[in-house]
Structure 1
Amino acid sequence: MSEPLPAPDDAPSALTPAEETARARAAVSAVARELEARGARAGGAAQDVLEAQAMIAEDPTLETEIDDRIARGSTAEWAVHDAFRSFRDTLAAMGGYLGERAADLDDVAQRVLARLRGVPTPGVPDPGHPFVLVARDLAPADTALLDLGQVLAVVTSEGGPTSHTAILAREKSIVAIVGVQDAGALADGQTVIVDAAAGVVTADPSADELERARRRADARRAAASAPLTPGALADDTPVPLLANLGKAEGADEAVALGAEGVGLFRTEFLFLSAAAAPTIAEQRVAYARLLGSFRGKKVVVRVLDAGADKPLAFLNDAHEENPALGLRGLRALRASEDILREQLTALAEADAEVRASGEGADLWVMAPMVSTVEETAYFTAIARDYGIRTAGVMVEVPSSALLADRILTRADFASIGTNDLTQYTMAADRLLGSVASFQDAWHPAVLRLVREVGAAGRALGKPVGICGEAAADPLLAVVLVGLGATSLSMAPTALADVRASLLAHTLDDARRLADAALAADDAASARAAARAASPTKKEAEQ
């Protein structure tokens, strides 16, 4: 990647404040339109991300901050640089969802500065041949439009599994490893093997290592082109493979890639860009579109997961010192129960509407960030009041995992969100690059909690799904089934790899791999132990 533009000097402007303001406004507007255009070309989740960046660029608060600096005599360049830096620091301090948006501001600021200086925006190089892209991080605008004929893989030194780089790379089926501490030591022209499944970058590989990598790549391509079949282990134990979706428009692609239903439908998209809560009618239209795309299949909808780390003026926008531990998820909905009731009303009406027109979907509804038995009882009771037949909870904090045997006596199912469960188990912000090494669902402490939930589900005959990023790791997916998971939900582009991995293992294999991982002391050892116990290891080494 090319180096970032240097910061401008804080020197007095030779222009009038009105002239500098006009320059700044024009540059910001041009960048916002460029981001929107890139998003329209990319489509999918990338379009959502880039449109959000465009909105950030033209945020009224930022505009005021830029104007204030120009009024004090600064150049447009310095005003943009300093205002964006201040806004970035504010978001980074908030952590969580908005903490992740802080990194996006760096890219927007660079683009505005480049526009003001009349120079190219730093971005992806074009060496004229296929290459592995190594960078500190990758801007969403660049990730969205990577030339997959040239970029073989992406390696970054920053970011975590829920960064935009990681999310967009998964959607576009780009081989990517984020948060590689020594990525900066890789040199231009060096040969590397990027094994995203193992999370390993091998520099200067031997001829044998290169040949094994080629065979694995060939096997992966064969698996991706294999006929679509229901998810199952080699002994025919069924493991439904479901899709994580953020918008109903992604349903057709998910089905085409082999999704057997939806394991996590995030309803936030209806709320996060709105100044007021969407009406029941507006929500019903979106939910009916989703349910109509999955007739006869399971669709798990998560009610609004927002709060202090995704502040909404109509829900809770109060500042909190530690928003990750604040009023979020179900806690926020209980504090504004009318929003929860309206959402459940819309879901029930959409379900009835689709069923009335023929075969409906099998609607399941779950609450986010449930931490107590009492919260479980509260949500399932209110959901059933509105006619929701199957009501469950997300297990994202250690307390709910440890109390799973009691929680599942009151809930119809549990869905484990491994991203947050790992964050809270390891006390490591999942969006903070400095602790990215702790954000690994392979850690035995996390796996033990998954086992607790799996055992409770098995004892009570209740389904236990996985809807975090861990389900998209082909080998970890097998381990999760060995720990008791009954379904796996992931980005649709990960379905083929996970399907192939499951078909290479029996249930006994899965349990053996799980035991091996649990016996390890850390995440890396757990991954290595599971790989060593896998019957496919010998095949990969041949």
Structure 2
Amino acid sequence: ARRAHAEAGIFAMHRALLQDPALLAAADTLIDTGKSAGFAWREATRAEAAALSAMADRRAADRAADLIDLGKRVLRALARTGGGEGEGEGEGEGEGEGEGEGDLPADARVPVAQNGQPVVLAADEFTPSDLSGLDRSRVAALVMVRGGPTAHAAIMARQLGIPCLVALGSALERLPDATPVIADADHARLHASPDQHLLAAAASTIRLRAQQHQADLRAAHAPASTRDGVHIEVAANIGSVDDARAAVAQGADAIGLLRTELLFLHGDAAPAAADHTARCQAIADALEGRSAIVRTLDIGGDKDAAWLRLPAEDNPALGLRGVRLAQVCPQLLDDQLRGLLAVRASAPLRILLPMVSEPGELLHWRARIRALAAEVRADAGIEVGVMIEVPAAALLADQLAEHADFFSIGTNDLTQYTLAMDRCQPELAARMDALHPAVLRMIAATCEGAARHGRRVGVCGALAGDALAVPVLLGLGVTELSVDAALVPATKARVRTLAHADCRQRAPELLRLASAAAVRDACRRYWPA
């Protein structure tokens, strides 16, 4: 179901591309000159894809792959109805020739399975429809010459649970078909022609992980406490009702982050208050009495909604994101807040405000929530927290904590803004490490500011699910870890191996180190995973 949810969103974007007036006009112009529908569509999509690929913004360039994918699918449909290429206008690249829905691209290299074992598929770049009908049991991993971590194919691979390596470059092209490989997504490495030692080590790792996962799952519904008796809440990050059910099944204590924008990102129109109520009520009902932190719409940056016409921005990650959207769309957040206030849950529902950078913003939204609660005769005492993802918020944590009920640290964006590195830039991916001492100092400042006013601090970014980082976060004062549902059992198990006093004693030392690599080395010595 989660896979279907992800695919539905991607193909909704494909439908939007089909209605692009500029694309349709370009195809119509060629048809008016006497070209076939197939030729006209192919030329129009290729021209637009080339323009997107040339853009400096990697997220826009990634969409070129989606447009090429869409072009193939339309050409296949035209071929079935007799509206394909005219005489002398053949593709010359294998596009549309014998490819069924969900088949692999013409350049995909599909090795012959050995003894029924799954294989690693290689291509210049996979597209969403390539993966739509993929048999997960037959595929060990996907590897691509091009692509990026924000390409939709990479997103779908993660939803399918398939390791995916992107941007491997010409080295992948030089590997002959049927070359034995190990795709190590943990370390973003592809080992070609591994020796027996590497093969044995990989097989052992896979076997031990499967055994450990089963053991962790058996204990997942029990609370997570350190060896010296400090309870740590392990919650889940979700974006749908299906995610909520998965979180319950995996033993999550609560929902630490409901990404509400994922509920509406691919809709046809802006959600009304009733839409927010219905979607969030269904999620609350699925949680079986667990509390939930609901983040207000965090659209902008690398998350665009077709129904939201935002002005063009040179630096969208620094622009109209989170609560800043209310500057141009005030009704959007008002409708969401009205909808959330109408939800009736058996456990606390808390509101989390993203991209807050100063106390004045928080005070404004607290006052607005009180006013809207009075309008709809709802409880005005609902808890309101601040997402710490902007360095300014971390540095003003003591002032924000006077008025916030809790903090939730989004380490993905906090790392991006602290290190001045685009989180969607594949060339910088290896350096985007949230265990960088500068980022840890931001987390420490947040926890110190919160402690002055007795506020709790959670982490909902990817760092919370990093086993090496868990003792560091606990040592800096974090009391809640919110991770993907599948990571809940392992994260609880990790907490139980630690002594909280030891974490508190050692964590400050890490702030004085010079690099993320040095921090990771120290963590491996102090708290072996």
Both proteins in one fold, TM over 0.5: yes
Residue 104, structure 1, aligned to residue 66, structure 2: yes
Equivalent position to 1:218, from 185, 191, 207: 207
DSSP-derived class of the 1:450 partner: helix
CA RMSD between the two structures? 3.5
In the alignment, what sits opposite 2:360?
A: 374
Deviations, residues 300-331 of structure 1 (Å, cap 9, x unaligned): 11111124765568755222232222222111
- C-alpha deviation, 1:462, in angstroms: 1.6
What are the superposed Cα offsets for residues 439-469 of structure 1, whole Å, 9 maximum, x if unpaired? 3333333333223223333343222222223
Q: Which residue, out of 345, 351, 365, partners 2:338?
A: 345
Distance 1:268 1:199, change over 3 A: same
Distance in 1 separating the partners of 2:122 and 2:185: 14
The letter of the residue matching 2:256 is G
- Give the TM-score, by structure 1 length: 0.78
Count of aligned positions: 490
Contact 1:262/1:299 (<8 A) preserved: yes
Equivalent residues in 2 for 1:42-441, closer than 5 Å: 42-71=3-32, 76-77=38-39, 79-83=41-45, 85-86=47-48, 89=51, 93=55, 95=57, 101-112=63-74, 117-119=95-97, 120=99, 121-122=105-106, 123=108, 125=110, 127-129=112-114, 130-135=118-123, 137-143=125-131, 145-156=133-144, 163-178=151-166, 184=172, 187-188=175-176, 189-205=178-194, 207-226=196-215, 227=218, 228-229=220-221, 230-307=223-300, 310=303, 316-351=309-344, 354=345, 360-385=346-371, 386=373, 387=380, 389-441=382-434
Per-residue displacement from partner, 1:205-231 (whole Å, max 9, x unpaired)? 554444443333223212322312334
Larger CA deviation: 282-291 vs 93-102 = 93-102
Partner SS, residue 474 of structure 1: coil
Gaps of 5+ in 1: 1-39, 355-359, 537-542
User: Relative to structure 1, is the Cα distance of residues 133 and 380 closer, same or farther in structure 2, using a 3 angstrom cutoff?
Assistant: farther
**Residue aligned with 2:468, SS:** helix
| Corresponding residue SS for 2:403 | coil
| Greater Cα offset, 110-119 or 319-328 | 110-119
Q: Partner residue of 1:466?
A: 459
* In structure 1, distance between residues paired with 2:175 and 2:443: 40
Select 2:439's aligned residue among 446, 451, 458.
446
| Counterparts of 1:485 and 1:191, CA distance in 2 | 43
Deviation at 1:367, TM superposition (A): 1.3
User: Structure 1 pair 250/398, CA: closer, same or farther in 2 (3 Å)?
Assistant: same
> What is the CA–CA distance in structure 1 between the aligned matches of 2:61 and 2:468, rounded to whole Å?
30
Q: Write the distance in 1 (CA, Å) between the matches of 2:62 and 2:472.
A: 29
- Scaled by the length of structure 2, the TM-score of the pair is 0.79
262-271 or 397-406, which moves further after superposition? 262-271
The alignment partner of 1:465 has SS state of strand
Return the letter of the residue paired with 2:11: L
Between the aligned residues of both structures, percent identity stands at 35
- Aligned-partner SS, 2:343: helix
Shift in Å, 1:234:
4.4
Offset, 1:524: 4.3
CA distance in structure 2 between the partners assigned to 1:512 and 1:112 by the alignment: 61
Which structure 2 residue ranges, 5 or more long, are not aligned?
A: 85-94, 100-104, 374-379
SS for the counterpart of 1:319 is coil
**Structure 2 residue matching 1:350: 3-state secondary structure:** coil
Instruction: Tell me, in whole angstroms, the C-alpha distance in 2 between the residues paired with 1:179 and 1:520.
Output: 31
**Post-superposition shift, 1:280?**
1.9
The equivalent of 1:12 in structure 2 is: none
Q: Once the 2 structures are TM-superposed, how far is the Cα of residue 492 of structure 1 from its aligned partner?
A: 1.7
TM superposition shift of 1:390: 0.8
| 2:492 counterpart (487, 495, 499) | 499
Structure 2 Cα separation of the partners of residues 233 and 193 of structure 1: 36
Match of 1:36 in 2: none
Residues 492, 58 of structure 1: alpha-carbon distance in 2 compared, 3 angstrom cutoff: farther
For 1:6, the equivalent position in structure 2 comes to: none
**1:366 offset after TM fit, Å?**
0.9
Shift of residue 363 of structure 1?
0.5
Change (3 A) 1:520 1:218: farther
Residue 88 of structure 2: aligned partner: none
